[in-house]
Each structure stands twice: as C-alpha cells, then as structure tokens.
C-alpha cells in the first residue's frame, strides 16, 4: 500500500515510522509512506504557508496555493482513485471499520493541517473525506495521520506476521478487549484468574467473552447500544449483571 502525507512537518511522520511493527512494514516494502511539504511549493522569499482569516479573529489559515500544489504533487505519485483524506476535528469519526476499508486500497492521501486548518475551497476541490480521530483538538493533523497509518498498516496482510493476523480483533465483534495476563501467576498479591490456568478452551472462551461484554457495558454503553451484541453475548451480560446485583445486595 502506498500512503502519501501532505504535511509541514515531514520529519514527524518519518521519525514515527522507524521503530516497531510499522518500521518493519516500511522496511519490507509492505507499506510505502511518502511526504509532501507545502513549504516547498511557496513562491515568496519567506516561504509563507499561512495567512490571516477573512472575517477576522485569532489564528491563521493555510494558504490555498501551496496546499493545492502539494496535494497535487502527492496525488500524482499515488495510484489513480486513491481517496484524499483531510484530518480535522470537524471530520467523521475514524473507526476500525474505516481502517479496514482503507487497508484494502492500493493508495491513500492524508492531508495534515496546522493552525486553523485548510481554506474551505481546498477541502471542496481536493478532499474526498474529512476524518477526525476523536473529540479533542490537536495542534496539527500529523498525529492524527499517524494514528490512521498505524491502524491501517497493521491490517495489511503480512504486517503483523501470519500468526497474529488471523487473531480475532476486539473491535471486530464491536466489543472491547478482555483482560490479559502473563507470568508470574501471582504478582503483588494479585492472582491470575483460575479459569485461565486450566486448559479448558471452551471455559476460557466463555470467560473472555463475558469479560469483554461486561467491560463494554460498563465503559462503553454506546457500543452496546449501537452494534447490538454478538452471538451468545447477551446471555453472558445477563449473567454478569445478575452476579453484580447479587454482590450489591449480598
């Protein structure tokens, strides 16, 4: 997969793509990430990329000429039809479903803003989708672009290695992940749950699904409401709630 990032800080992107799973994916050629800096598309001696907003107010807006020139240069390197994504707090939420969709594509353009962001006309003429990584405001789109790159790259076959790629993901089921433990069996007086120490696979799967459902219900009731529960999960939630009720009154 080929990803291009339009950014005023290419070094942020390159630095983050060196270590770990992502670094290896880039090294092995499974993911190719290029950057295009709008500052290289300025014409004045000061290499100006921003200007004051029409209508007044604080903050600066990214000038359309260097931004569109940088976007066009990056797009020219990508396979035809690659979606052009602008990272902004005004975007639609980035989800695992969107990560999956992007991971099947041959190319993707990510545009990171700074200051108050892009001139709206650039969004109208050059951007297919505006995407937000969460309900908070970042000082720039670079970290958001990196979040998208990370979530997408790990879904590309081979990036995580064959053994891990087949593993069911927590969000595939619309649920949060269950708790994980490793040795030692007792740590600071806390013990690994008995069921995980026995080798009873069905019991372990049942315990894990129940933990996942309970956590999702407690921490993210919006996910339970939105997606409904996967097969077998509703009765495990009932069981958890009954036990909880019992503890409260017992």
Residues that bind ligand ADE (CB under 6 A): 87-89, 132-134, 136-138, 141, 144
The nearest distance, CB 101 to ligand ADE, in angstroms, is 17
Is the CB of residue 193 less than 8 Å from the CB of residue 206?
Answer: no
The nearest distance, CB 114 to ligand ADE, in angstroms, is 9
Ramachandran class of 128: left when φ > 0, alpha when ψ lies in -120 to 50, beta otherwise: alpha
Which one, 137 or 166, has the nearer CB to ligand ADE? Answer: 137
Question: How many residues in the chain?
Answer: 250
What are the DSSP calls for 177-233, one per residue?
PPP---S-SEETTEEPPHHHHS--HHHHHHHHHHHHHHHHHHH-HHHHHHH---TTH
The nearest distance, CB 9 to ligand ADE, in angstroms, is 13
Which one, 115 or 171, has the nearer CB to ligand ADE? Answer: 115
Which one, 28 or 129, has the nearer CB to ligand ADE? Answer: 129
CA distance linking residue 149 with residue 147, whole number of Å: 5
The nearest distance, CB 136 to ligand ADE, in angstroms, is 6
Which one, 54 or 136, has the nearer CB to ligand ADE? Answer: 136
In angstroms, how far is CA 159 from the centroid of its own chain? Answer: 16
The nearest distance, CB 122 to ligand ADE, in angstroms, is 15
CA distance linking residue 242 with residue 72, whole number of Å: 59
Which one, 20 or 93, has the nearer CB to ligand ADE? Answer: 93
The nearest distance, CB 177 to ligand ADE, in angstroms, is 23
Residue whose Cβ sits closest to ligand ADE: 144
Which one, 142 or 209, has the nearer CB to ligand ADE? Answer: 142
């Amino acid at each position: 997969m080929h990803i291009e990032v339009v950014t005023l800080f290419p070094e942020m992107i390159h630095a983050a793509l060196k270590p770990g799973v992502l670094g290896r994916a880039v090294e092995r050629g499974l993911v190719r990430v290029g950057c295009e800096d709008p500052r290289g598309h300025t014409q004045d001696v000061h290499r100006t990329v921003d200007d004051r907003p029409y209508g007044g107010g604080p903050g600066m807006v990214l000038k359309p000429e260097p931004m569109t020139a940088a976007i066009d240069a990056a797009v020219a390197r990508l396979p035809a039809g690659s979606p052009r994504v602008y990272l902004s707090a005004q975007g639609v939420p980035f989800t695992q479903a969107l990560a999956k969709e992007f991971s099947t594509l041959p190319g993707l353009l990510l545009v990171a803003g700074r200051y108050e962001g892009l001139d709206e006309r650039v969004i109208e003429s050059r951007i297919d989708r505006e995407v937000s990584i969460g309900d908070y405001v970042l000082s720039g789109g670079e970290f958001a672009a990196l979040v998208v790159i990370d979530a997408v790259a790990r879904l590309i076959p081979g990036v995580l290695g064959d053994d891990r790629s087949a593993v069911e993901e927590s969000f595939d089921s619309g649920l949060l992940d269950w708790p994980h433990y490793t040795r030692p069996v007792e740590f600071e007086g806390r013990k690994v749950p008995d069921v995980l120490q026995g080798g009873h696979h069905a019991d372990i799967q049942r315990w894990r699904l129940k933990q996942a459902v309970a956590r999702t219900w407690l921490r993210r009731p919006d996910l339970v409401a939105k997606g409904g529960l996967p097969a077998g999960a509703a009765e495990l939630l009932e069981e958890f709630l009954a036990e909880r009720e019992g503890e409260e009154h017992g």
